[in-house]
Amino acid sequence: MSGRAWGVLFVLCGAIFLEGIDVAMLNVALPSIREDLDMSTGMLQWVMSAYVLGYGGFMLLGGRAADLFGRRQMFVFWLVVFLLFSGLGGFATEGWMLIVARFVTGVAAAFMTPAGLSIITTSFDEGPQRNKALLVYSGTAAGGFSIGLVVGGLLAAINWRWVFFAPVILSLLILVAAVVLIPKSARPQRSGQGVDLAGAVSVTGGILLLVFGVERATHVSAAWTAGTIGASLVLFLVFIAVERKSSSPLVRLGIFRNGSLVRANLAGMLFAAGFFGFQFIAVLYLQELRGWSTLQTSFALIVIGVDAVLSPTLTPKLVARFGNARVIFGGLLLAALSYALFLPVGADWTYLAMFPSLIILGLAFSLAYGPLTIVATDGIAEEEQGVAGGLLYTSFQFGAALGLSSVAAVNIAATDGTSPAALLDGYQAALVVPLVAALVAAFISAFGLRSRAGAEDAGSVPAEVPGPAERVEASR
């Protein structure tokens, strides 16, 4: 890769690192925020949920916007929005101010992230170069989350507001580098490609309601949850009907005929569900049952961040030798092994007893996350790379929401009392959820191991890319 290409990759890695560290730092600062702003537990939950709603709800629209209005333009503009509202969150004096700031920050990330990913997939030729770039990119994202756990603990110990001010400083540096290093591109040709407002409104509303319903499932009645999810499904049906008739659809329905893309999105959703669900329960176990401090917990979990080192070093070699499909399958099996090893967790486990699960999970992440990104974007036409990225990150985000709400629901149902034994029973029951999610994800990914599908997933047999006329016809 040329020096300019490495510079572009550096900027985009900085942005995904920023997104990861922003989320992780906030996780460990929540107790301090609640105490200072006098927020109830329910309101505090919305500090996280508002970001998830904005991020997951607008991701697909963000991906299409990058394709239609220019990837560099969308990336830079929404990076500025991210910077502004992250800073505003640090000045919040009321809970609702912080919630609004987090929602808009999530929306900014939803437009910025697929734009950044599509810049990579359109700047590097499909094959070894793009694979290496995507693996470095995914490793940086993981590193941001792992480092954020520790940095967030340190900043929260000074003042929780620095958890919001620190990303502003990093955002400014990335913004300057982006303006200098990311080359300007010609404005996309949009003749005959109008903005699909009906499709955008229906799918964004559907995703918002679905994520909202899943996020609130443990706090409201089953009837309320069923009604919310039912309403989201109606909007999805409206979206499909709109896309079938649109001459310039938000998402060409024919894209779902790409088996590799569908498998990557389903497996990615389940992998994210297990990964975030496991971390949620592990944090509760260490802090509620074992009485570990926020900083101790952060340092305990940072070993999962080994994937930041392995993703750009070990994973490319394994992909080159075995192909993406086999590496993904192996990563998902390792994730299942990690969760299974933690399942019999005891009330007095030493860190040495927990370590195998945590280090194996870091290895699993390095094997699964990057190759899933490659498979989800391989063989997709350049003008649809933003949509492909938006689909994948929507799957990851929805998976995270699904995993968090599922483990919380099982944990609440299985916890009978407040004694250490009762808490442990709840944690052990909830840990079954990540295990099941990883096993189902591995089952889905196994279909990519067949000779022809495996070759396509490895990138040796690119999927046929339809021309404009065929894409319009296929969407009908």
Q: What would the pLDDT profile of 382-412 be if each residue is shown by its tens digit?
A: 778 878 888 888 888 888 878 887 888 888 8
Q: DSSP class of residue 186?
A: P
Highest mean pLDDT among 55-64, 261-270, 411-420, 445-454: 261-270
Q: Report how far residue 92's alpha carbon sits from residue 382's, in angstroms, rounded to the nearest whole number.
A: 41
CA distances from 166 to 86, 105, 392 (A): 9, 14, 28
Asked if residue 155 has pLDDT above 70, the reply is yes
Q: Report how far residue 57's alpha carbon sits from residue 77's, in angstroms, rounded to the nearest whole number.
A: 19
Split at pLDDT 50, 70, 90, the class of 444 is very high
pTM of the predicted structure, to 2 decimals: 0.80
Strand (E) positions, 203-318? none
pLDDT at 308: 79
Do the beta carbons of residue 389 and residue 114 sit within 8 Å? yes
Q: What distance lies between CA 425 and its chain's CA centroid?
A: 29
Between 307 and 335, the higher pLDDT residue:
335
**What's the whole-number mean pLDDT along residues 293-322?**
85
Between 458 and 284, the higher pLDDT residue:
284
Q: Report how far residue 21's alpha carbon sits from residue 91's, in angstroms, rounded to the nearest whole number.
A: 19
**What's the whole-number mean pLDDT along residues 36-59?**
78
Q: Report how far residue 408's alpha carbon sits from residue 410's, in angstroms, rounded to the nearest whole number.
A: 6
Q: Report how far residue 50's alpha carbon sits from residue 56's, in angstroms, rounded to the nearest whole number.
A: 10
Split at pLDDT 50, 70, 90, the class of 23 is confident
What's the one-letter identity of residue 37? L
Contacts of 361 (CB under 8 A, 6+ apart): 275, 278, 304, 334, 335, 338, 339
Q: What percent of the chain has pLDDT over 70?
A: 91
Do the beta carbons of residue 413 and residue 407 sit within 8 Å? no
Q: Scan for tokens 């990303």, then name that residue.
A: 167
In degrees, rounded to 5, the angle at the alpha carbon of residue 383 between the alpha carbons of residues 378 and 388 is 45
**What's the whole-number mean pLDDT along residues 322-336?**
95
Between 349 and 385, the higher pLDDT residue:
349
Q: What distance lies between CA 24 and its chain's CA centroid?
A: 12
Asked if residue 471 has pLDDT above 50, the reply is no
pLDDT at 187: 64
Asked if residue 44 has pLDDT above 60, the reply is yes
Do the beta carbons of residue 206 and residue 251 sit within 8 Å? no
Secondary structure string (H, E, C) spanning 137-155: HHHHHHHHHHHHHHHHHHH
Q: Report how far residue 420's alpha carbon sits from residue 175's, in angstroms, rounded to the nearest whole number.
A: 48
Q: Report how far residue 275's alpha carbon sits from residue 184's, in angstroms, rounded to the nearest whole number.
A: 37
Split at pLDDT 50, 70, 90, the class of 476 is very low
Split at pLDDT 50, 70, 90, the class of 336 is very high
Structure tokens given for 55: 């991020």
Between 125 and 97, the higher pLDDT residue:
97
Asked if residue 233 has pLDDT above 70, the reply is yes
Q: Report how far residue 179's alpha carbon sits from residue 182's, in angstroms, rounded to the nearest whole number.
A: 6
Give the chain's mean pLDDT: 83
In degrees, rounded to 5, the angle at the alpha carbon of residue 465 between the alpha carbons of residues 242 and 198 is 15
Dihedral sign computed on CA atoms, order 390, 395, 400, 401: positive
